[in-house]
């Protein structure tokens, strides 16, 4: 095995290295989420950190890495007597994206327990990572229930496994590091909040720094051992500094002044809950220990805020992370130098707190740009052939649920019904591979008729492997939501495009919350374009939508045919993921020979392929042609108006009630 790339040889990425080192000093900080584009040394830095961690003493033979000085009294391999033990390097355990729950938390061997009566628990990755590093690459692609499990274990310092009446608990204290590329989709805000610190990384734009990165990487690839040897002195110095900071940490004093600055900063940036305050306090304390001090200073609080707050103040997935550093400095200055008796700071002092609204809590988006008012329609547009300026989207709203009928088997999500690993039990079947969820009643029913033939005459049940039945469970899946947006001149008329963009933005927000992939096809003029190929990043879709220009004729058939091709290719890539086609149009078709007939033929392709579809009818005005409804019929789908798309729409509720009454009659 080649020597790992030295941590101290990493060029730049100061915030990333600092965040990792602070967690090495104080794992109570809560881990690090590293966000950045590919090729920015995220994985290299995490793997290099594991070589810096001090060695750990463990109880010989204990699968849960108990400390011989203070063994866990509830260890499944215990009880252990306190004493000396073996010493080994700290582990770095990687959690693959496709890992199962059993692989993460451990599993009881159900087959052996039923057939042999032996309770045998096999530890999972959480047990292996105890007193080391648990590294989750592409954490945003991990199933939500797995993220919940590992974050709960990180918060409690223990893992609990409850299966078929057997309860296992073991210690699980580790440094949690997750990396992600935001272009591949975001984590839910609730999960973002569970990571202690976050760091945004990007490749340097300085030529000299990029040259040095390449030079060092080439030298390492040519001779890993020799390159590591040249950095051995720096590595040893950092390792000793981590040990010294850990020893100093209990002596660091967090005064009332620093606590007030922490509380004021979290309040000024309108951070929800109290976790941010606690993480900032622990981070500031670790910063002081890393610097060799026993008192927390204002500079520690400032650095802690830059690492602990950006990911906690995102209100929706379209908000850019980051902090206004000028405002941070004003807040820290306003609350500096206050002792315990100073409970009445000047409301008009530096920073202009005074109970006034935060500078970016209203129209200001936090980056100095103004947010559009609700319902704002943007620039005046016409239905002529010229390209019109991009309209600004109206405020998003909560949409009614659009789903794919039937039962799928795609990736776990929150939109359509599907057979999943987790959910309510709906039946049983013979296991196909390893048994993961036992259906006890079905297993008993399968074994009962054979008891006499097996020589069983007394109480109890004699089970064989063929009797075991796997539970079939039903939950929800994520889908590919492909938006086909009409950007022609007829849509731009009467300034409708702002409302249309607001509706699509609302659907994108819904897709984010339901863990869908999204794609965007637009059509205008004489052709259709794939504005965004299917992706898990709704941020990218929202950005493309915001800059979408309008004008020209309406090549509806071209838009549908392009969407059909996108779905065909995506079906080859991911056959299990079902698609939901959302066509946003007024239904008009112009341009070219027989545009209406061509659009009808294109729509019938989706009906023949049984693609679930919804047409968002954008027609407005006193005279309506009902073309969007006809298009929905050709697609084999349904049509909703912009008003009916709202979850709390009275018109939509009346229509649903009327539809139910007709079906009942």
Q: Which of 210, 229, 246 is the last residue of a domain?
A: 210
Q: Residue 237 pLDDT > 70, yes or no?
A: yes
Task: Match 């909703």 to its residue by tokens.
Answer: 640
Going by their DSSP bridges, the two strands 527-535 and 612-617 should be labelled as: unpaired
Domain count, the chain: 3
- Please state whether beta strands 133-137 and 175-180 pair in parallel, antiparallel, or not at all (unpaired): parallel
Residue after which a domain boundary falls, among 210, 240, 275: 210
Residues 644 and 542 in one domain: yes
What is the average per-residue pLDDT within 349-366?
39
More confident site: 506 or 366: 506
Q: Determine the pLDDT at residue 649.
A: 63
| Alpha carbons 32 and 619: distance in angstroms, whole number | 48
pLDDT average, residue stretch 399-420: 88
Residues 544 and 616 in one domain: yes
**Whether residue 520 sits in one domain with residue 470:** no
Structural domain boundaries, residue 100 = 24-54+90-210
Classify residue 445: in a domain, yes or no.
yes
Task: Please say if the pLDDT value at position 569 is more than 50.
Answer: yes
Which range, 73-77, 135-139, 448-452, 612-616, has the best average confidence (pLDDT)?
A: 612-616
485 in the same domain as 611: yes
Residue 275 lies in a domain: no
The contacts of residue 591 (CB under 8 Å, 6+ apart) are 525, 526, 553, 554, 555
User: Would you state the pLDDT for residue 630?
Assistant: 94
Handedness of CA 38, 41, 42, 46 (dihedral sign): positive
281 or 91, greater pLDDT: 281
What end-to-end distance do the CA atoms of the chain give, in Å?
73
What's the mean pLDDT when you consider all of the chain? 81
- 501 and 615 inside one domain: yes
- Residue 131 is part of a domain; what is its CATH number? 3.40.50.300
Provide the pLDDT for residue 202: 84
- Do 112 and 182 have their domain in common? yes
The DSSP string of 305-356 is HHHHSGGGS-SSTTSPP---HHHHHHHHHHTTT--TT-----TTSTT--TTP
Q: According to the model, what pLDDT value does residue 493 have? A: 57
> Is 263 inside any structural domain?
no
Are residues 138 and 199 both part of a single domain? yes
Q: Which residues are catalytic?
A: 275
Q: What is the DSSP track for 200-266?
A: EE-----HHHHHHHHHHHHHHHH-HHHHHHHTHHHHHHHHHHHHHHHHHGGG-B--HHHHHHHHHHH
pLDDT at 91: 87
| Residue that finishes a domain, picked among 210, 226, 243 | 210
| Mean pLDDT, rounded, for 126-150 | 84
Indicate if the pLDDT at residue 568 is higher than 60. Answer: yes
For the stretch 9-61, pLDDT in tens is: 998 888 999 999 999 999 888 889 998 877 777 888 888 888 888 888 898 88
Per residue in 279-337, pLDDT (tens digit) is: 999 999 999 999 999 999 999 999 999 999 988 876 566 666 677 888 888 899 888 86
Please tell me whether residues 107 and 133 are part of one structural domain. yes
- Give the pLDDT band (50/70/90) at residue 612: very high
- Tell me what the mean pLDDT of segment 239-252 comes to: 94
Pairing of strands 106-108, 121-123: antiparallel
Distances (CA, A) of 218 to 213, 221, 369, 391: 9, 5, 43, 49
**Residue 276: helix, strand or coil by DSSP?**
helix
For residues 506 and 526, membership in a common domain is answered with: yes
Domain-embedded: residue 235: no
Q: Comparing C-alpha atoms, which of 590, 520, 582 is closest to residue 551?
A: 590
Residue 476 scores a pLDDT above 50:
yes
pLDDT on residue 658: 45
In a domain, 249, yes or no: no
Does the pLDDT of residue 664 top 70, yes or no?
no
Q: What is the pLDDT of residues 625-661, one digit of tens each?
A: 889 999 999 999 999 998 899 987 655 444 544 444 4
Here the CATH number for the domain that contains residue 611 is: 3.40.50.410
Is the same domain home to 613 and 645? yes
Instruction: Confirm whether 427 is domain-assigned.
Output: yes
| Residue 205 belongs to a domain | yes
Q: What pLDDT score does 488 carry?
A: 87
Q: Is residue 511 part of a domain?
A: yes
Q: Is the pLDDT of residue 371 over 50?
A: no
Q: How confident is the model at residue 98 (pLDDT cuts 50, 70, 90)?
A: confident
Q: Say if residue 562's pLDDT is above 80.
A: yes
* Angle, CA 387 vertex, CA 385 and CA 393 arms, to 5°: 125
Q: Residues of the chain with pLDDT > 90: what percent? A: 30
Cβ atoms within 10 A of the Cβ of 395, count? 13
Q: How many CB atoms lie within 10 A of CB 237?
A: 10
Query: Are residue 507 and residue 625 in the same domain, yes or no?
Result: yes
Tell me: do 548 and 611 sit in the same domain.
Answer: yes
Contacts (Cβ under 8 Å, ≥6 apart) of 2? 224, 225
């Amino acid at each position: 095995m080649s020597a790992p790339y030295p941590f101290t040889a990493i060029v730049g990425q100061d915030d990333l290295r600092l965040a990792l080192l602070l967690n090495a000093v104080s794992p109570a900080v809560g881990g690090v989420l590293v966000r950045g584009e590919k090729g920015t040394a995220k994985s290299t830095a995490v793997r290099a950190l594991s070589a810096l961690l001090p060695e750990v003493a463990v109880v010989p033979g204990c699968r849960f890495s108990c400390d011989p000085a203070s063994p866990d009294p509830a260890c499944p391999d215990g009880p252990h007597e306190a004493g000396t033990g073996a010493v080994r390097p700290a582990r770095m355990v990687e959690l693959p994206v496709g890992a199962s729950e059993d692989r993460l938390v451990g599993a009881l061997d159900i087959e052996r327990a039923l057939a042999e009566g032996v309770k045998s628990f096999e530890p999972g990755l959480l047990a292996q990572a105890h007193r080391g590093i648990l590294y989750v690459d592409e954490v945003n692609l991990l199933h939500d229930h797995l993220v919940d499990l590992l974050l709960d274990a990180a918060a409690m310092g223990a893992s609990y496994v409850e299966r078929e009446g057997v309860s296992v608990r073991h210690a699980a204290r580790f440094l949690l590091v997750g990396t992600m590329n935001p272009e591949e989709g975001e984590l839910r805000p609730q999960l973002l909040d569970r990571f202690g610190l976050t760091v945004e990384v990007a490749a340097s734009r300085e030529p000299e720094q990029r040259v040095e990165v390449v030079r060092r990487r080439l030298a390492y690839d040519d001779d890993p051992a020799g390159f590591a040897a040249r950095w051995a002195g720096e590595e040893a110095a950092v390792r000793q500094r981590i040990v010294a900071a850990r020893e100093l940490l209990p002596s660091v004093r967090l005064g009332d002044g620093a606590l007030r600055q922490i509380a004021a900063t979290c309040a000024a940036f309108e951070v929800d809950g109290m976790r941010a305050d606690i993480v900032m306090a622990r981070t500031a304390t670790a910063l002081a220990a890393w610097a060799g001090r026993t008192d927390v200073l204002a500079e520690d609080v400032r650095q802690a805020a830059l690492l602990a707050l950006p990911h906690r103040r995102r209100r929706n997935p379209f908000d850019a992370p980051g902090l206004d550093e000028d405002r941070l400095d004003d807040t820290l200055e306003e609350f500096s130098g206050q002792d315990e008796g100073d409970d009445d700071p000047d409301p008009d002092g530096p920073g202009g707190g005074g109970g006034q609204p935060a500078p970016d809590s209203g129209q200001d988006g936090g980056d100095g740009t103004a947010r559009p008012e609700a319902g704002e329609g943007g620039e005046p547009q016409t239905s002529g052939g010229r390209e019109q300026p991009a309209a600004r989207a109206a405020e998003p709203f909560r949409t009614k649920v659009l789903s794919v009928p039937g039962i799928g088997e795609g990736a776990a999500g929150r939109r359509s019904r599907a057979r999943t690993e987790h959910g309510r039990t709906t039946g049983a079947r013979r296991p196909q591979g390893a048994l993961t969820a036992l259906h006890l009643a079905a297993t008993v029913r399968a074994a009962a008729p054979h008891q006499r033939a097996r020589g069983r005459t007394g109480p109890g049940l004699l089970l064989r492997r063929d009797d075991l039945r796997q539970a079939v469970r039903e939950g929800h899946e994520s889908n590919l939501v492909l938006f086909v947006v009409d950007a022609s001149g007829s849509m731009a008329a009467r300034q409708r495009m702002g409302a249309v963009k607001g509706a699509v933005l609302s659907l994108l927000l819904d897709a984010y919350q339901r863990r869908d992939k999204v794609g965007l096809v637009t059509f205008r003029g004489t052709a259709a374009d794939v504005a965004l190929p299917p992706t898990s990043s709704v941020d990218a879709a929202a950005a493309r939508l915001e800059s979408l220009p309008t004008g020209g004729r309406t090549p509806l058939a071209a838009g549908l045919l392009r969407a059909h091709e996108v779905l065909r290719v995506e079906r080859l890539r991911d056959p299990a993921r079902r698609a939901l086609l959302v066509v946003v149009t007024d239904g008009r078709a112009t341009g070219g020979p027989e545009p209406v007939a061509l659009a009808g033929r294109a729509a019938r392709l989706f009906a023949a392929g049984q693609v679930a579809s919804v047409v968002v009818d954008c027609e407005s005005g006193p005279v309506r042609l009902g073309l969007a409804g006809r298009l929905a019929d050709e697609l084999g789908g349904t049509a909703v108006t912009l008003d009916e798309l709202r979850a709390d729409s009275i018109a939509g509720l009346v229509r649903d009630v009327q539809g139910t009454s007709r079906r009942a009659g």
